[in-house]
Structure 1
Amino acid sequence: MFSLVVQLEVRPGSREEFLAGMTANAQASVRDEPGCLRFDVCSVEGDENRFVLYELYADADAFAAHKQAPHFHAWREVADRVVASQHNTPGTLVATNSAEVAA
């Protein structure tokens, strides 16, 4: 499985626009893309402008398809306005353990 960790910093005053755009993207990704298995959006404690995303796809091709989806393109328009910096770390899922309850 293809994994992606994204560290983002949004411009001051852009938190709400970021969250609206990113939430719409994440929900549509899981709902509409068979290869998108997980899309978590996490805030960083102590810094309201920093976020970490964890995305999990069936494979690299599923991630490539994600980048072609209409909701991804809509998100990129929002990102151009609100994201100050972004660092992507792609990888491969090696092991997973979970006892989660949906938020």
Structure 2
Amino acid sequence: MKKTLLAEFTVRPGNEERVAELVKDYAVRVREEPGNLAFEVYTKESDPLAYWIFEVYEDEAAFRAHLAAPYGPPFNKELQPLINEKESVLTFLTPLG
């Protein structure tokens, strides 16, 4: 069963350029993971500081492999002081039907 989620966070004002750079670089790496099916980065049209990242992995094992990737912890460590939340807020999604 596919593992689908939405990761959300809000950039602290003044950090827009650095966060965009970090997320773009991270997205390239995640999209190269064998079990990644989607890693789409969005900002809210009405609030460009609000990021929504739609992620899909082949299955739970692919998601776990993503979490274990060596570039994840450094990304999160650098992102954390640049956003309002303690960390990205994850919402796991279940398809209808």
Structure 1 segments of 4 or more deviating over 6 A? none
The two structures, once aligned, show a CA RMSD in angstroms of 1.6
**Residue aligning to 2:18:** 17
CA distance in 2, matches of 1:71, 1:26: 11
Q: Deviations over 1:41-76 (max 9, x none)?
A: 001112121111000000111111111112212211
TM-score normalised by structure 2 residue count? 0.86
Mean CA deviation greater in 12-21 or 72-81: 72-81
Judging changes above 3 Å, is the alpha-carbon distance between structure 1 residues 37 and 94 closer, same or farther for their aligned structure 2 residues?
farther
Local SS of the residue matching 2:84: strand
Provide the TM-score with structure 1 as the length reference.
0.81
Q: 2:93 aligns with which of 91, 94, 98?
A: 91
State the secondary structure of the residue aligned to 1:51: strand
Structure 2 gap segments, 5+ residues each:
none
Aligned to 1:7: 8
- What letter is aligned with 2:91? T
1:74 aligns to what? 74
Is 2:43 the partner of 1:43? yes
Opposite residue 12 of structure 2, the aligned amino acid is: R
How much does 1:94 deviate? 4.8
Distance (whole Å) between structure 1 residues aligned to residue 58 and residue 38 of structure 2: 10
Gaps of 5+ in 1: 96-103
Count of residue pairs the alignment pairs up: 94
What percentage of residue pairs aligned between the two structures are identical? Answer: 28
